[in-house]
Structure 1
Amino acid sequence: MVELPQDSSVKDHCIYKVPQKVRHIKEAAYTPRVVSIGPFHHGEERLILMEKLKLGYLKSFLQGTGLTLDKCMSKLKEWEPMIRNCYAESVPLDSDPFLKMILIDAAFIIELFIRYYDVGNWIQSDPLFLKPWLADDVAHDLVMLENQLPFFVLNGLFKLATADITPGDLPSFLDLTFTYFADLNPQKIQSDSVSVKHFTDLLRVFYLPPVERLPKRSKVNNILDHLYSANELVEAGVELKVDKTKRCLSCSITMVS
């Protein structure tokens, strides 16, 4: 049984629209090129051409997994409050069209990642792989902030689809995601070390500095452990004098020899 995760990553808004004053600087940098994912760009006329391809992927996803449309919609219905809450702005779609959009977009992504993982068997027949420029544009669009689905939805549907498959026969959805976005992972971060909210969040994780480059809190704490308090200094015979002409407290205290 696939249940809704209870961790804090799906309890708060995590998918936002880019502020207009930022978007105005360079519109193209924040606008999907060829495919809409999620509600913010759903139905835009210039992105309609990809809807037919997404429906084809949905059909392939359902046929390949044995899932029914009703079963997927029923599961998404259970998750609907949490899905909607991930978006920082209210989505003006009724339940059925909203969940249908989520399912089509999620199935498209899952099917795409599965095919990419097994690209040798798809490179001669998949519409995206036959047009490398289109595949590049799709990959570009999938990491845009306004073009996101909550990761738990993708992962949950993938688990639902693979519930009857022997563990180990297929990689996890997170592993599929890492494979698809491998070129954006310059530090070669491993999938078992991260938790993500959506693909833009994953991109952020990829570009965070490695842990060894961050200040070691333990070293800072060790230094502080060896500093003496004012009381300890006085007890040791050190005389402290306050200089009232200085406004900075730390600068106004000096030791008198």
Structure 2
Amino acid sequence: MVAVFNKELLSWYLITVKLRETVEAGAVKSPSSTPSHDLPLETPQQQQLPSVQQAPSFSHLQSIDINDVGENVKEEEEEEETKPVESEWVISIRDKLEQARQDHDAASWANLCIYRVPRTLREGDDKAFVPQVVSLGPYHHGREHLRDMEHHKWRSLHRILKRTRQDVKFYLDSLRELEEKARACYEVLIPLSSYEFVEMMVLDGCFVLELFQGAAEGFKRLGYSHNDPVFAMRGVMHSIQRDMIMLENQIPLFVLDRLWGLQIGEPDQRGLVAKLALRFFDPLMPTDEPLQKRERDKLESSLGSANSPTTPFDPFTDLMGLHCLDVFRRSLLRKGSGPEPPPPPASRKWLKWRFQSRVADKRRQQLIHCVIELKEAGVKLRKKKTDRFWDIKFENGVLWIPRLLIHDGTKSLFLNLIAFEQCHLDCGHDITAYVIFMDNLINSPEDVGYLHYCDIIEHWLGSDAEVADLFHRLCQEVVYDINNSDLSRLSEEVNRYHSHKWNAWKASLKHNYFNNPWAIISVVAAVFLLLLSFIQSFYTVYAYYEPYTS
């Protein structure tokens, strides 16, 4: 039961209690020698009345201070009002701490790999991180401008079920086993129920796999019309590829592996989806040098042998739980059989080094002079024939730079790769280092023009100024110590060459007097005339001191 008291009635009740205690105390102090026979006899009616109805004598009220009683009552009321408020405050804090403890215990940081792009990186470039055609995963699920693609996802799922002659419940039950692990891959709490989340994973995952398989084998073979608005390698496909490579628009790779395994009857297979992804995203490669068949087979072999304990490149372990963006990044950074694996994340020393690298002063990123300054110092720039755009070398005064293709999707591609490297601890910063290096080389439209003249940069933008502005925007708010990269050591070699005055003098001589055939002829003629003048002067002086005698 809950009793509700009026404050005034409560005050008077407390005063009455105080009065009664005082009266009883006075009664105890009164003389006890009064004979019992002097006391009046009580009638039966009086004996039935409770003792509280016996009116006290007013003579005992002389020792009671009404003001003191009121103050005591007021203090008790204040204490009763303060204690509940304070206790509720402490209880709420303890509840928050308990929730934090539960979140910490339930968190699976090892699976975290799909992040929300930090506000500092996405400011002013929101379109580079927000899909414009199709949403994959929970971050942009249900957005108004992406709903047109939903019925095409259902078409792809229907086509898969019809082709494999399987029931959709088979996929839902299998993906429900991976729900907890899949949720742990995302940085924020997903406000979807279990049924909604599993349905989204099945629908989006099957749509991705249908695109991968169609790009590899042909959509017509899968049962789609040649003029299908989505499932055809034309039109909107380029926009879909660009959306699917965004960091916030990813699905865990183990989910795609499970869905593909269910289709082919091998639920535990791994590595096949990565091969399909490489072929699908090949048009986004920022180089036009064809990938050698030998290199492609070596790369796919490393991806397909993920279950082997001896392979040096194992990006698909349970601890990493990566996605298509990470597969694409690793294909860009392959070295021999594949990128070198990162140091173990459990190493405190390595984590400390990574933290120091992240908080380095941005002013230290200025590593190398711009193209025009290097040219004036005698550094030659040449195109290197390789499909590895980051493989830059410096030998004998020549800076070899692979060819780079720049189009309307290059900005979004590099920004998402940089964002992933900034957020994910278990990967290096190779793409970030390359972009910062190119930003240092390109300081003006003239630098872009000379790189284009050397066939190092090919762009489809409006002007060279837009290319220079693109690299400047890519490096905004990127905090990273590039001094730990291979390009830092290369920059030191170039700067040492640039600091020698003799190299600058040779470059100036060549630029001013040997820059074209006519200038070379003029210089040779001038030297020849100077030599003849010297010979004539010599014989004139010689004849003066040694006269001719017959």
- Secondary structure, counterpart of 2:242 in structure 1: helix
Match of 1:79 among 159, 178, 190: 178
* Contact 1:184–1:206, Cα closer than 8 Å, also in 2: no
Distance 1:120 1:101 in 2: 23
For residues 202-241 of structure 1, the C-alpha deviation after alignment (integer angstroms, 9 at most, x for no partner) is 12112226259x99xxxxxxxxxxxxxxxxxxxxxxxxxx
Match of 1:178 among 263, 278, 281: 278
Match of 2:168 among 43, 66, 69: 69
Distance 2:135 2:332 in 1: 24
Q: Which amino acid aligns with 2:333?
A: L
- Cα deviation for residue 177 of structure 1 reads 1.8
| Structure-1 residue corresponding to 2:52 | none
| Structure-1 residue corresponding to 2:124 | 25
For 1:157-236, what aligned pairs fall within 5 Å after superposition?
A: 157-163=259-265, 172-185=272-285, 189=296, 190-194=299-303, 195-196=315-316, 197-208=322-333, 210-211=335-336
| Structure-1 residue corresponding to 2:366 | none
| Structure-2 residue corresponding to 1:225 | none
* Contact 1:11–1:82, Cα closer than 8 Å, also in 2: no
The 1:16/1:63 distance shift into structure 2, 3 A limit, reads same
Distance 2:261 2:113 in 1: 22
The 1:11/1:74 distance shift into structure 2, 3 A limit, reads farther
- Cα deviation for residue 191 of structure 1 reads 2.0
Distance 2:252 2:136 in 1: 11
Scaled by the length of structure 1, the TM-score of the pair is: 0.71
| Structure-1 residue corresponding to 2:244 | 142
The 1:131/1:34 distance shift into structure 2, 3 A limit, reads same
* Contact 1:128–1:134, Cα closer than 8 Å, also in 2: yes
Cα RMSD for the two superposed structures: 2.8
For residues 67-122 of structure 1, the C-alpha deviation after alignment (integer angstroms, 9 at most, x for no partner) is 21111110011111100011111101010011101110001011111122222625
| Structure-1 residue corresponding to 2:189 | 90
| Structure-1 residue corresponding to 2:136 | 37
| Structure-2 residue corresponding to 1:154 | 256
Match of 1:57 among 124, 144, 156: 156
Q: Which amino acid aligns with 1:193?
A: S
The 1:202/1:40 distance shift into structure 2, 3 A limit, reads same
* Contact 1:60–1:111, Cα closer than 8 Å, also in 2: no
Scaled by the length of structure 2, the TM-score of the pair is: 0.34
- Secondary structure, counterpart of 1:71 in structure 2: helix
Distance 2:265 2:109 in 1: 22
**Which has the higher relative contact order, 1 or 2, with Cα contacts under 8 A spaced 6 or more apart?**
1
* Contact 1:77–1:99, Cα closer than 8 Å, also in 2: yes
| Greater fraction of residues in helix | 2
| Structure-1 residue corresponding to 2:397 | none
The higher radius of gyration belongs to 2
Distance 2:141 2:229 in 1: 21
| Structure-2 residue corresponding to 1:4 | none
Number of residue pairs matched?
202
- Secondary structure, counterpart of 2:248 in structure 1: coil
| Structure 1, 184-193 or 77-86: larger mean CA deviation | 184-193
Q: Which amino acid aligns with 2:328?
A: L
Q: Which amino acid aligns with 2:191?
A: P
* Contact 2:135–2:141, Cα closer than 8 Å, also in 1: yes
| Structure 1, 17-26 or 177-186: larger mean CA deviation | 177-186
| Structure 1, 182-191 or 85-94: larger mean CA deviation | 182-191
Distance 1:184 1:46 in 2: 24
- Secondary structure, counterpart of 2:247 in structure 1: coil
- Cα deviation for residue 145 of structure 1 reads 0.3
Distance 1:148 1:141 in 2: 9
Distance 1:82 1:210 in 2: 31
Q: Which amino acid aligns with 1:75?
A: S
For residues 149-168 of structure 1, the C-alpha deviation after alignment (integer angstroms, 9 at most, x for no partner) is 0001101110111017xx9x
- Cα deviation for residue 10 of structure 1 reads 9.7
- Secondary structure, counterpart of 1:87 in structure 2: coil
* Contact 1:128–1:135, Cα closer than 8 Å, also in 2: yes
Q: Which amino acid aligns with 2:229?
A: P
Q: Which amino acid aligns with 1:90?
A: L
- Please list every run of 5 or more consecutive structure 2 residues that lacks an aligned counterpart in the other structure: 1-107, 304-314, 317-321, 341-550
- Cα deviation for residue 11 of structure 1 reads 4.3
Distance 1:131 1:209 in 2: 27
Distance 2:218 2:281 in 1: 14
* Contact 1:37–1:148, Cα closer than 8 Å, also in 2: yes
| Structure 1, 123-132 or 74-83: larger mean CA deviation | 123-132
| Structure 1, 127-136 or 42-51: larger mean CA deviation | 127-136
Distance 1:159 1:209 in 2: 26
* Contact 1:113–1:176, Cα closer than 8 Å, also in 2: yes
- Cα deviation for residue 12 of structure 1 reads 1.7
Q: Which amino acid aligns with 1:93?
A: L
| Structure-2 residue corresponding to 1:104 | 203
